[in-house]
Every structure is written in structure tokens, then in C-alpha cells.
């Protein structure tokens, strides 16, 4: 029996060698579409009169690969930054890795991320570290004043700079994917927090970027918003009378293949759900570390 590649439904030009029997064969390769999203960075908390930047969105990687049946593939879903200013964790499927978004800065320099997208900057920095641009994300925005911070960078766009002396920057946009059958954005940056004082009663916080980014906080006692779970969105920066920065959203691993060609098994330690889109199976893994195998 010859080795072959099973194609995804709707994929043209995928070579399928044969003949094949109806029994799974470890030598066969299954065409698999994979989307891997890292955890979003947390927004920072206001410290004294320093505005807090929004968290960076997690990295987003989309690839189509061939996998071997009856072989274990490792999976990890990265957590969002779990405390103010902390970066998100990496996600991976086999050797595909999406790095976590950088935490928002409350200091005077642009936050250097342990990951894809930079967190927004607080303080009074006027220099953006352009080296933070990568294939997986963009830098955070710069503050406009000692009151208005920058938004977190997104997987598809730079975080917004502070708009004015009393208006913080929005989070950068995430990347679009249709792997689930529905157009969805992932890896949006968190909005910058804005520090309201008697001299700035009309403070305006930044809004989260499309793709799960959380809104920052300004004069309101309402807390900054966390990044949306399983999108890799960055958390909003704290401000106003509720200075705490919000957590980043967790990442996700999504896998899609032709349903008629293989069935999947998850190990303990992974949380996932299986859906059908046309003639394809779509496995969305939302938490944990473990392995998956197809047969």
C-alpha cells in the first residue's frame, strides 16, 4: 500500500495516492489545518500617577500540515497573564508554537514582551521599540501624557498611542481565521488605562482590540476588562479609582480535518469539543496539556 495524503474538504489540488483500504494505516498522512493562539498579556495596574498600558495579544499561527495516523502529538493551551503586567504563556501543537502576549507597562519604557505582541506603555516614554514587531504580533502604543497610556499590541496591528492628554490608546487588532466555520478574530490587544485626576475629569480609557482584547479603565470604579478566554486577548489597563490591571485571555488550539478520513482521541489533561463543519471535523482545545492522536 502506498503512502498518501488525505485532503481537507474544499481543498483543491491535494494529491491522494492509493489505493487505500478502509482500515486506518499508520503510513497514511492526514491533511490537517491548525490554528494555535498564545495567551494574552495582562494589563498593568496604575501606580501613583503613572497610567497603565494594556496587555499585548497572544501570537496567532495558522498552518496546514500532514500528520501521521496512530501517532501522539503534544498540545498545550497557554494561559493568559494572571497578574497585572505579566505576559501570557505559550501555546503549541507539535512543533507549532504561538508565543504569549507581552504584559502592559506601568513604567517609563515600552514593555518588552516575553511573546508576540508588546504591552502598551505607561509613564512618559517617547520611544517605541520597533524590534518588537514579529511575525506573530506588534508593539504596544505609547502614552500621550502622564495620564493617558498606550494600548497593547495585537496579532495583526500595533497598539494605539494615547490620543490626547486625557485619552488612552486602543488595543491593536487581532488576526482573522475561519477555521471553525465562523469568521473569528484572535489576539487583540488590551486598551490602555487612563488615570483620572481633578485636572482630568473627562479621562477616557482605551478600548480592547477586536480579537478578545479587554477595555481599559478610567474614572469609573468599574474594573478593567480581562481578555476574552480562548482568544488570546490582552487585558485592559487599570485606572481611575479601580487601579488594578486585568488578566489576559487564555489561548486556544483548533484543528480541522476531513471527518471521513480519521477519528481523534484526546488524552487526559486536555479539555476540548468536537464539532462538524460541512464534511470536516473541527476540534477546539480550550485548556490543558496532553496529547492527541488520529486513527
Within a domain: 262: yes
Within a domain: 280: yes
Within a domain: 106: no
Give the pLDDT of residue 149.
86
pLDDT band at 273 (very low <50, low <70, confident <90, very high): very high
Within a domain: 25: yes
Neighbour-count burial for 181-216, b at 16+ CB within 10 Å, e otherwise: eeebbbbbbbbbbbbbeeebeebbbbbbbbbbbbbb
Structural domain total, the chain: 1
Question: What would the mean pLDDT of 267-294 be, rounded to a whole number?
Answer: 97
- Segment 96-149, tens digit of pLDDT: 999 899 888 765 444 434 334 666 555 444 445 444 445 688 888 888 877 788
Within a domain: 283: yes
Contact 150, 117 (CB under 8 A): no
Within a domain: 58: no
Within a domain: 267: yes
Question: What would the mean pLDDT of 12-30 be, rounded to a whole number?
Answer: 48
Within a domain: 57: no
**DSSP 3-state of 130:** helix
Domain that holds residue 275: 5-35+254-294
DSSP state of 218: -
Amino acid at each position: 500500500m502506498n503512502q498518501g495524503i488525505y485532503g481537507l474538504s474544499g481543498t483543491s489540488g491535494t494529491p491522494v495516492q492509493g489505493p487505500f483500504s478502509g482500515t486506518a494505516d499508520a503510513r497514511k498522512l492526514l491533511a490537517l489545518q491548525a490554528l494555535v493562539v498564545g495567551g494574552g498579556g495582562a494589563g498593568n495596574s496604575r501606580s501613583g500617577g503613572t497610567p497603565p498600558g494594556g496587555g499585548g495579544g497572544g501570537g496567532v499561527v495558522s498552518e496546514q500540515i500532514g500528520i501521521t495516523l496512530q501517532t501522539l502529538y503534544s498540545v498545550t493551551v497557554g494561559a493568559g497573564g494572571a497578574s497585572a503586567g505579566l505576559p501570557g504563556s505559550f501555546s503549541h501543537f507539535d512543533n507549532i508554537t504561538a508565543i504569549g502576549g507581552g504584559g502592559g507597562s506601568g513604567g517609563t519604557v515600552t514593555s518588552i514582551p516575553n511573546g508576540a505582541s508588546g504591552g502598551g506603555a505607561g509613564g512618559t516614554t517617547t520611544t517605541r521599540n520597533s524590534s518588537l514587531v514579529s511575525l506573530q504580533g506588534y508593539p504596544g502604543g505609547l502614552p500621550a501624557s502622564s495620564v493617558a497610556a498606550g494600548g497593547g499590541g495585537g496579532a495583526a496591528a500595533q497598539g494605539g498611542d494615547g490620543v490626547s492628554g486625557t485619552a488612552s490608546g486602543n488595543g491593536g487588532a487581532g488576526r482573522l481565521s475561519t477555521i471553525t466555520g465562523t469568521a473569528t478574530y484572535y489576539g487583540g490587544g488590551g486598551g490602555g488605562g487612563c488615570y483620572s485626576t481633578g485636572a482630568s475629569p473627562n479621562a477616557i480609557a482605551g478600548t480592547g482590540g477586536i480579537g478578545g482584547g479587554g477595555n481599559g479603565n478610567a474614572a469609573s470604579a468599574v474594573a478593567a476588562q480581562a481578555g476574552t478566554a480562548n482568544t488570546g486577548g490582552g487585558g485592559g489597563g487599570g485606572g481611575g479609582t479601580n487601579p488594578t490591571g486585568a488578566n489576559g485571555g487564555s489561548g486556544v488550539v483548533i484543528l480541522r480535518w476531513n471527518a471521513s478520513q480519521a477519528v481523534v482521541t484526546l488524552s487526559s489533561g486536555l479539555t476540548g469539543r468536537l464539532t462538524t463543519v460541512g464534511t470536516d471535523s473541527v476540534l477546539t482545545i480550550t485548556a490543558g496539556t496532553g496529547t492527541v492522536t488520529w486513527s
